[in-house]
Amino acid sequence: MTLGASAQAADIKIGMAEALTGGAAQYGISIRHGFELAAGEINAAGGVDGNQLKLIVDDDQGKKEEAINVFKKLIFQDKVLMVFGPTLSNSAQAADPIAQGAKTVAFGTSNTADGITSIGDYVFRNSVTEADVLPETLRVAVKHAHIKKVAVMYGNDDVFTKSGYDNFKKALEAAHIPVTTTETFAKGDVDFKAQLTKIKATHPDAIVLSALLAEGAPIMVQARQLGINVPFIGGNGMNSVKVFTLAKGASDDLYVGSPWSASNDSAENVAFIKAFEAKFNTPPDQFAAQSYDAMHIMVQALKTIKLNGDLATERTALRDALPKVKWTGATGAFQFHRAMNKAGKPAGYDAQQTAIVSVTKGEQFVI
Ligand code: 1QQ
């Protein structure tokens, strides 16, 4: 970014729409912390060409209607340069078209369902999709735990949990692994004993689970109560340290995949973990790592554009600059790749990264 001779340093307004209350706040608060850590570091080092990043933080409550409201407020009232979020794919599918219509970048750091970036060319994410991660999670779990047949359980009223199910199904078919039974649940359910009792009767070697934590953690607890002690194979929703707080000892033997791992000892990751713990007094998770990297990726693009005071031009310049960014951060080497829409035409941008699979043991993720 280059400022004219007479230009004054100004705040650069960045919107953040995340689930800060409700069931998905398990993720949203962690995501917020990642953004705040990165923005704080960037501002402390002089900002972007002397301009400070100003985060405008709004709560989408993990609800798609609220995500739409918050996107409208950030884009049209607050006039932010771009928007990070929302937390859930379910919300992104509803709210991202607002950003696309307003030619404003919507950058998701935790949306992993199919089809989000097919919304349009202003839609970006650095979260690796279920389609990319689940076949690898399944492959490692099957090999490690000698799995021959599985039961499947998924939430059938959420864009992410349904997409996870679709991708698990595809991966299971490709790997020729029979499914003993498929059970469903909905957001807000608390008693999963009926489905788990059916699953138990089919004697699976593992349970494939596409769930958000609010339902996924009690599912693990109730399975163990019913004497089902087989491994769980989960998607992005289960990949959070919050599963240990929510499911305690019942959280063991859960396989998940993500580019980020607490035990990756690259210089970038070690520095991230240290700074995060110093600031928030708690260890980070992959959601914090993703948002931390996303802020740095966005700033790399920002450094290459001119802020001329014309918001529409600035928003489009940022969009044009983002795909060129390459960045090595807490989650490793990152770049974007072009996503296609349903008609096979170029649309938004997905993450080009590979997943590391871990399994939970003694309330820790181990590789
Ligand atoms: C999605 C997800 C969730 C687990 C985000 C918190 O991956 O909704 O896409």
Q: Which CATH number characterizes residue 38's domain?
A: 3.40.50.2300
Last residue of a domain, one of 232, 258, 284: 258
In a domain, 69, yes or no: yes
Alpha-carbon distance 180 to 227, whole Å?
Answer: 18
Q: Would you report the helix, strand and coil content of the chain in percent, each value rounded to 5?
A: 45, 20, 35
Residues of the domain holding 174: 130-258
In a domain, 358, yes or no: no
| Whether residues 146 and 254 fall in one domain | yes
In a domain, 154, yes or no: yes
pLDDT for position 1: 47
How far, in Å, from the CA of 130 to the mean position of ligand 1?
9
Asked whether the beta carbons of 111 and 89 are under 8 A apart, the reply is: yes
Asked whether the beta carbons of 313 and 103 are under 8 A apart, the reply is: no
Q: Provide the total of helices (H) and of strands (E) in the chain, helices listed first.
A: 11, 15
pLDDT for position 54: 98
* Residue 287 alpha carbon, nearest atom of ligand 1: 6
Asked whether the beta carbons of 207 and 223 are under 8 A apart, the reply is: yes
Pocket test for ligand 1, best of 129, 137, 236, 285 (most atoms within 8 A of CB): 236
Which element (helix H / strand E) includes 72? helix 64-72
Pocket test for ligand 1, best of 160, 161, 287 (most atoms within 8 A of CB): 160
| Whether residues 117 and 136 fall in one domain | no
Ligand 1 site, residue 113, Cβ cutoff 6 A = yes
Alpha-carbon distance 279 to 38, whole Å?
Answer: 11
Looking at the structure of the chain, the number of domains it has is 2
Ligand 1 site, residue 161, Cβ cutoff 6 A = no
Last residue of a domain, one of 233, 258, 283: 258
How far, in Å, from the CA of 17 to the mean position of ligand 1?
14
Ligand 1 site, residue 19, Cβ cutoff 6 A = no
In a domain, 359, yes or no: no
CA atoms within 13 Å, Cβ hemisphere of 183:
22
| Whether residues 104 and 217 fall in one domain | no
Alpha-carbon distance 335 to 127, whole Å?
Answer: 11
Alpha-carbon distance 223 to 193, whole Å?
Answer: 8
How far, in Å, from the CA of 237 to the mean position of ligand 1?
6
The beta-strand segments (E) located in 148-291 are 150-155, 179-185, 206-210, 232-234, 254-258
Q: Which residues contact 249 (CB under 8 A, 6 or more apart)?
A: 224, 363
Q: Compute how many other C-beta atoms are within 10 angstroms of the C-beta atom of residue 92.
A: 32
Last residue of a domain, one of 258, 284, 306: 258
pLDDT beneath 50: ranges in the chain:
1-6
How far, in Å, from the CA of 160 to the mean position of ligand 1?
6
Ligand 1 site, residue 236, Cβ cutoff 6 A = yes
SS3 63: coil
Which element (helix H / strand E) includes 329? strand 326-329
In a domain, 2, yes or no: no
How far, in Å, from the CA of 251 to the mean position of ligand 1?
19
pLDDT for position 8: 63
| Whether residues 245 and 144 fall in one domain | yes
Q: Compute how many other C-beta atoms are within 10 angstroms of the C-beta atom of residue 188.
A: 9
* Residue 113 alpha carbon, nearest atom of ligand 1: 9
How far, in Å, from the CA of 24 to the mean position of ligand 1?
9
* Residue 112 alpha carbon, nearest atom of ligand 1: 9
In a domain, 40, yes or no: yes
SS3 351: strand
Which element (helix H / strand E) includes 82? strand 82-84
| Whether residues 195 and 213 fall in one domain | yes
Ligand 1 site, residue 133, Cβ cutoff 6 A = no
| Whether residues 269 and 254 fall in one domain | no
Ligand 1 site, residue 286, Cβ cutoff 6 A = no
Ligand 1 site, residue 110, Cβ cutoff 6 A = yes
* Residue 239 alpha carbon, nearest atom of ligand 1: 4
Task: Give me the sign of the Cα torsion angle 312, 315, 318, 323.
Answer: negative
In 309-343, which positions are buried (b, 16+ CB within 10 angstroms) versus exposed (e)?
Answer: eebeebbbbbbebbeebebebbbbebbbeebeeee
Ligand 1 site, residue 160, Cβ cutoff 6 A = yes
Q: Residue holding tokens 């970014």?
A: 1
SS3 196: helix
pLDDT for position 45: 96
